[in-house]
Amino acid sequence: MENCNEFCREIDVSTRKSMFRSLFRVWAAAATAALVMYLVIPYVDIWAFLWK
């Protein structure tokens, strides 16, 4: 039973790691999108203002 317990614990750790990795990917993608929007929107506003 101890071996099974260790095996289950290893699986738990790996799933937790992959969960953190996917969460970090989602967070990084959201942060990148927010940064791009933050940088791009002022230029879009300026261009819209200039083209009027």
Decide if pLDDT at 1 tops 70: no
Give the count of domains, the chain: 1
Mean pLDDT of 18-47: 91
* pLDDT at residue 30 in the model: 96
Res 3: pLDDT: 65
The pLDDT-based confidence of 47 (bands split at 50, 70, 90) is confident
When pLDDT is averaged across residues 6-31 and rounded to a whole number, the result is 88
Distances (CA, A) of 31 to 6, 19, 25, 26, 35: 37, 18, 10, 9, 6
Range of the domain at 49: 1-52
Dist. CA 44–CA 48, nearest whole Å:
6
